[in-house]
Amino acid sequence: MQLSHLHNSVLLRRISSTQPLVWLWMAQLFMNFQKALISRINPVYVLKETKNIVSMSYRITSRTQSMSHSQQPPPLAQKLTDDPVMNKTAQSTVTCVYQTHIAGFWRNVTVLWCKNLMNQSLSISVDSLESDYHHCCKIDLKPWHFWSKKGYKTFEVDGNLVEVYWDLRTAKFSGSPEPCTDFYVALVSDEEVVLLLGDYKKKAYKRTKSRPALVEAIMSYKKEHVFGKKSFSTRAMFDQRRKEHDIVVESSTSGPRDPEMWISIDGIVLIHIRNLQWKFRGNQTVLVDKLPIQVYWDVYAWLFSTTPGTGHGLFIFKPGAPETDSDIDRDESSCGGESKCSSSNSHYYSTQSHSEASEFCLFLYAWKLE
């Protein structure tokens, strides 16, 4: 140890007489490290105690700061993380809103089906009459938890007990988070099944031991996010006969030919749009089982998005013929010239206006993957 210290002292004097000050700092640093190794002292402590190596201390401090700042993403990375496309791509959703009679009042019940690579869930929320608060009940349907696909939960809605029964053990899916057959989800209030989803109706009534509702719940609208390259499909019921229709949107937006789009219902092409680059927004009325359906589309993002795969096409399907100017004038005259005939929320609380609130609308968000 003494020989090593003597050798380092001679080396330090020799370097200091011939080299600039920076070499003196490097030699001092080398000596301190060697002392630390010999005496088994933490080298970091030696660095902190060395007053002649300010430049090296600054480098260590800057690295520590960079490591702490790395936990917070820079603005560009944060923007990419918050991109709704990335979040939506990771999770597909189907939202259905029903008007249901619960505890003596008509309320909106929102059923949300979610699915991603790791989990699948079902959420049911009921609107409150007292405020904008929503009473929620979430059910996790993890694929490796077989028992979670059948269960029972309760929650309160404005002081009234609401029960949820579900059985999804044999449910079949067709690429959507919402099952299509062989399942049931029942919402029970006051020993009455106020909302029943699925085709296992007999099993649901047997398990809940409750009577059917005097007035069935009505679906107000459905919103679905679909992902694909060229084809996007969904299902919807346009009439009170409970007949479900298959809807498929196909597109050809790449290649040497002009972009085109096809919209078919139940396997029949009802809308064919050529030169889509000029007709990326539009509407058309078609007939489905002699029922007029208004179809609106907006696929601007498919064609002109600056970043491929970051935009979605929006499609709206609404039963009924489009209103004309004469229809609007007739409605205004029946109201006595007033702009509002009644409260916009009256259909929530009155059973008499239930038939007026049975209009349905489908919103399809088609996310094109590149």
Could you read off the pLDDT of 146-157 as tens digits, one per residue? 557 899 999 999
The partner residues of 157 in beta bridges, in order of sequence, read: 160
Q: What local confidence, expressed as pLDDT, does residue 328 receive?
A: 53
Q: What local confidence, expressed as pLDDT, does residue 255 receive?
A: 77
Please work out, in degrees rounded to the nearest 5, the angle formed at the alpha carbon of residue 146 by the alpha carbons of 141 and 150: 65
Query: Which segments of the chain have a pLDDT < 70?
Result: 1-90, 143-147, 240-241, 308-309, 324-358
Could you read off the pLDDT of 320-339 as tens digits, one per residue? 988 765 555 555 555 555 44
Neighbours of 63 (CB within 10 A): 10
Q: What local confidence, expressed as pLDDT, does residue 231 receive?
A: 94
Q: What local confidence, expressed as pLDDT, does residue 78 receive?
A: 34
Q: What local confidence, expressed as pLDDT, does residue 84 receive?
A: 42
Neighbours of 78 (CB within 10 A): 11
Q: What local confidence, expressed as pLDDT, does residue 104 receive?
A: 87
Q: What local confidence, expressed as pLDDT, does residue 119 receive?
A: 82
Q: What local confidence, expressed as pLDDT, does residue 145 receive?
A: 61
Q: What local confidence, expressed as pLDDT, does residue 116 receive?
A: 82
Q: SS3 sequence, the chain? A: CHHHHHHHHHHHHHHHHHCCHHHHHHHHHHHHHHHHHHHCCCHHHHHHHCCCCHHHHHHHHHHHHHHHHHCCCCHHHHHHHCCHHHHHHHEEEEEEEEEEEECCEEEEEEEEEEEECCCEEEEEEEECCCCCCEEEEEEECCCCCHHHHEEEEEEEECCEEEEEEEECCCCECCCCCCCCECCEEEEEECCEEEEEEECCHHHHHHHHCCEECCCCCEEEEEEEEEEECCEEEEEEECCCCCCEEEEEEEEECCCCCCCEEEEEECCEEEEEECCCCCCCEEEEEEEECCEEEEEEEECHHHHHCCCCCCCEEEEEEEECCCCCHHHHHHHHHHCCCCCCCCCCCHHHHCCCCCHHHCCCEEEEEEEECC
Q: What local confidence, expressed as pLDDT, does residue 331 receive?
A: 58
Q: What local confidence, expressed as pLDDT, does residue 166 receive?
A: 96
